[in-house]
A and B are shown apart, each in its own frame.
Chain A
């Protein structure tokens, strides 16, 4: 039984019994990275393996996880952090045409202590960088960061300039990057939806991060 359980953990390249997925690039197959390309892995487990998997996953926690994540992603309150021109697009995102309140971001909290999402919208200068970090530190966990626009992603049109920080990910961990100068409100909406998908995959257990 130990040999069969260990077989479920082998990478894809050592599992000749699994049929080929619809399309996996050759390099990925060699590195054993093909399993993420489908939503559910088409792996057939034996009875003992399935039981082991269930016990390991702990069904109770899975249900709590899904409810918890639904609550977290459906009410992401951003802290209003518009620095430059991207702030205009963020404002238009909160206006009735591309309503952000439909997706749970009902209010933009002016205080970071009451928010759990920080949309860095605009250019971050060297002078402003410690302030951005301080606002991020004041947010309570779980907190997420969206880097909006090319200036927050990588310095943008002011890359390698004397006064601009090349990307806000040098000072904070970023979850989603949005490209654009400025990105359209629909692009920012897509970023918020991607962030909601990312929140779906988190868990409250410590060891299964």
Chain B
């Protein structure tokens, strides 16, 4: 479970030079994809390239930064035992992202959960419907504007002793 910049940065600049993937350094290197349309091409490359060989999708999460959504992919390679964190920024007014189910099958339920909780639509998903909430639930609970106390608390007052 090592997070390293190499070999990913060199392989990406060699194989996909037209995508300008930034590397954010900090506690761990994070690969940032500025335009979400290139995601299927990038995912396919990361899986097929023999030096990267990221064949296991650990998880997909989404974060609501108030101006945009961030979708975070955690990838792992069984053969090389290295990991990579990939972030994609999604527009908040029209949250659509291409689905990576054709590359990693484990993305199926994860993307359904992100659709349920954040409202990000995944284009190309075979069965995109709500997974935790009932099908006719209004709203997406993990967004910042969703009021968590969606039902008002009825104040009961102090307990009376009989």
Q: In the complex, what residues of A have CB within 8 A of residue B151's CB?
A: 160
Q: Roughly how many angstroms separate A8 CA and B133 CA in the complex, as a whole number? A: 57
* B-side interface residues, number (CB < 8 Å): 12
B25 in the interface (beta carbon within 8 A)? no
B148 near A162 with CB under 8 A, answer yes
A162-B148, A162-B150, A163-B141 known; A126+B162 contact, CB < 8 A: no
B132 close to A163 (CB less than 8 A):
yes
- Flag whether A142 is at the interface (Cβ < 8 A): no
Q: Which listed residue (A28, A125, A160, A163) contacts B153, Cβ 8 A?
A: A160
Residues of B within 8 A of A163 (CB): 132-133, 141
Asked if A126 and B149 make an inter-chain contact with CB atoms under 8 angstroms apart, the answer reads no
Question: Are A162 and B134 in contact (CB-based, < 8 A)?
Answer: no
Cβ-defined contact, B133 with A162, below 8 A:
yes
Bound Cα distance from A162 to B151, whole angstroms: 9
Total count of chain A residues near the partner, CB < 8 A: 10
Q: Given the complex, which residues of A lie within 8 Å of B149, measured CB to CB?
A: 160
For the complex, is A25 an interface residue (Cβ under 8 Å from B)? yes
Note all chain A residues with C-beta closer than 8 A to B162: 25, 27-28
Q: Is the CB of A127 within 8 A of B133?
A: yes
Residue of A nearest to B148 (CB): A162
A125 to B137, CA, bound (A): 12
Among B137, B146, B148, B153, contact of A126 (Cβ-Cβ < 8 Å): B137
- Min Cβ gap B94→A in Å is 24
A26–B134 alpha-carbon span in the complex (Å) = 50
- Taking CB atoms and an 8 Å cut-off, the chain A residues in 158-177 that contact chain B are 160-163
Output the least CB separation between A200 and chain B (Å).
25
Q: How far is the CA of A160 from the CA of B133 in the complex (A)?
A: 15
Q: Which 5 A-B pairs give the minimum distances between C-beta atoms?
A: A162-B141, A127-B134, A126-B134, A160-B149, A162-B150
Chain B: residues with CB nearer than 8 A to chain A? 132-134, 137, 141, 146, 148-151, 153, 162
14 contacts between A and B (CB under 8 A): A27-B162, A28-B162, A125-B132, A126-B134, A126-B137, A127-B132, A127-B133, A127-B134, A160-B149, A160-B151, A162-B141, A162-B146, A162-B148, A163-B132
